[in-house]
Amino acid sequence: MEPVKIGLLGLGTVGGGSVTVLTRNADEIARRAGRAIQITHAAARQYDPERIEGLGQIGRISDDAFTVVDDPEVDIVIELIGGYSPARELVLRAIDNGKHVVTANKALIALHGNEIFAAAQAKGVMVAFEAAVAGGIPIIKAVREGLAANRIEWIAGIINGTGNFILSEMRDKGRAFAEVLAEAQALGYAEADPTFDVEGIDAAHKLTILGSLAFGIPLQFDKTFTEGISRIEPQDVAFAAELGYRIKHLGITRRAEAGIEMRVHPTLIPHRRLIANVDGVMNAVLVMGDAVGPTLYYGAGAGALPTASAVVADVVDLVRALTTDPTNRVPHLAFQPDELTDTPVLPIEAVETAYYLRITALDRPGVMAAIAGILSEEGISIEAIKQKEPAAGETSVPLIMLTHRIEEAAMNRAIERIEAFDGSVGEVVRIRMESLEG
C-alpha cells in the first residue's frame, strides 16, 4: 500500500520534533497506522539546512506554505506555524482541497474552530487538534472518546506551564513574580512578551476547547473569563500555605444549573489534592465524570517531542480513518455536529465560588467587626480569619479571610464597600477558591 504523504507547515520547535518522531519511530508508527507515513513537502520561511538534515527525512522544502496545501500529492497537512493568520487561510485552503488537517494551534481552534469544523464537515475531511491542549497529554482523546459514556460535571486544569513554573518558584523560594518571570524568560519558558502566558490568554484558548468538548457547546472564546497571575504577591502564597492551600493558575469549566462556567484565574486549592502538587512547567487536567468519578491526566504541556507525540498520534488516527465513512468518524467536538446546544456560558458575576481575601486593615478597635458586618450584610459567610500582628511602627495589618461559596456579584459589592470603608487601606486582594472534591 502506498505511503500516506504529509505536508508540514512550520519547521520550528514542534515542527522539528514532529520530523524527528516520524523518522525515528517510522516502523512502529507504520505498524500502528497500517501504512507508512512520509513527510514529502514542508514549508518554512527561514531554516538551517544542517539542523533540518539532522532532524530526519523530508522530501522537499518550500518557502511558501500555500504550495504545500495546494500540492496534489499531499494527503494530510500538519499546521504548526501558530497564530491566527495565515494559519486560518492555510487550513481552510487545505480543507477546500480535500485534505485532512492536524494542528497544534489552540488560538486558531478557539477563535475559528466553529468555521473550520463546519468547512471540514462539508468536505468530508477531519481536523485533528490533540496537541492544541496540554502538549503531550492526550486529554482531547480522553474527553472525546475515553469518557464518552459520562456526563462531564467539571474540568479543572493547570494548562500553562509558564504560569505554573512561576507560582511554584514563588511558593518554594518566596520569590517575587517579576524576578521569577525574568528567569522563566531566560530559560525559554516564557516569551519576550509573556502576556499570553501570565495573563491567562493561552490557558483560556485551551479551556475554550475543553469546555466545548465536555458540554457539547460551540467554541466561545470571547465568553471565557480570564485573569492572570501578575498581581499575586509572595505574602499571598505564604498565607495560603499557612491555611493549608496552594495557589494554582487554573482553567475551570463546570456545568451549573443556569449554564456553563468558563473561567481562568488564580485559585486556592487544598494542598492535599494531587493537582495542587503539580509543579514546575508540568501540566495536569482533572476531569469529573458522573460514572467514572475524578480522573487526572498529567504530563509535559509543551516542548518539541512531547507536543510532537500528540501531533503524530493525530496523524496516525487520520491515516486509520482515511477510508472511513465520513458520517461515522469521531466528531470534532465530541458531540454530533447537529447535537451541539446553545446552553449559555455564564458571566463571571453569576459564578459561585469560595474566596480568599486579604484586606489591609487599620489596627484599631472595631475594624474587624465592621468588615465582618459588611460581608454578613451581603450574605457572605466567613469560614476562617487570620490577623497578623502589626510590625513595629505600623498602623495597619493584613487581615486574611476565607469565605464560604457565594455568587461573585455579591462579593463584588462587598469588596467595593470594604475598599470605601475608612478602616481599610488600598485594594482588597481577592483569589477564588475551589475544593475540587471527588
Binding site listing for NADPH:
106
SS3 160: coil
Calpha distance 25→190 (Å, rounded) = 30
- Residues at the binding site for L-homoserine are 191
69 within 8 A of 7, measured Cβ to Cβ: yes
* Angle, helices 87-96/106-123, rounded to nearest 10 degrees: 20
Q: Could you give the CA distance from residue 113 to residue 332 in angstroms, rounded to a whole number?
A: 9
Q: Residue 70 in contact with residue 93, Cβ under 8 Å?
A: yes
Residue type at position 414:
A
What's the rounded Cα separation, in Å, for the pair 377 and 385?
A: 17
Query: Which sequence positions are flagged as catalytic?
Result: 206
239, 245, 247, 248: CA torsion to nearest 10: 170
Write the CB contacts of 375 (distance below 8 Å, at least 6 apart in sequence): 381, 382, 401, 403, 414
Residue 58 falls in which region: left (phi positive, over 0), alpha (psi -120 to 50) or beta: beta
Taking the alpha carbons at both ends of the chain, their separation in whole angstroms is 48
Q: Would you list the DSSP string of 51-110?
A: HHHHH---SEEES-HHHHHT-TT--EEEE-S-SSTTHHHHHHHHHHTT-EEEE--HHHHH
What phi-psi label fits residue 406: left (phi over 0), alpha (psi between -120 and 50 degrees) or beta? beta
* Residue for grid cell 486560518: 88
Binding site residue list: 9-16, 106, 191
- Full strand arrangement of the beta sheet holding 4-9: 60-62, 37-43, 4-9, 76-79, 100-103, 127-128
| C-alpha grid cell, residue 22 | 516520524
Q: What is the DSSP string of 366-432?
A: THHHHHHHHHHHTTPPEEEEEEPPPPTT-SEEEEEEEE--EEHHHHHHHHHHHHHSTTEEEEEEEEE
Extract the annotated binding site for NADP(+): 9-16
Q: Number of helices and strands (H, E) in the chain?
A: 15, 17
CB atoms within 10 A of CB 146: 16
Tell me the pairing of strands 127-128 and 245-255.
unpaired
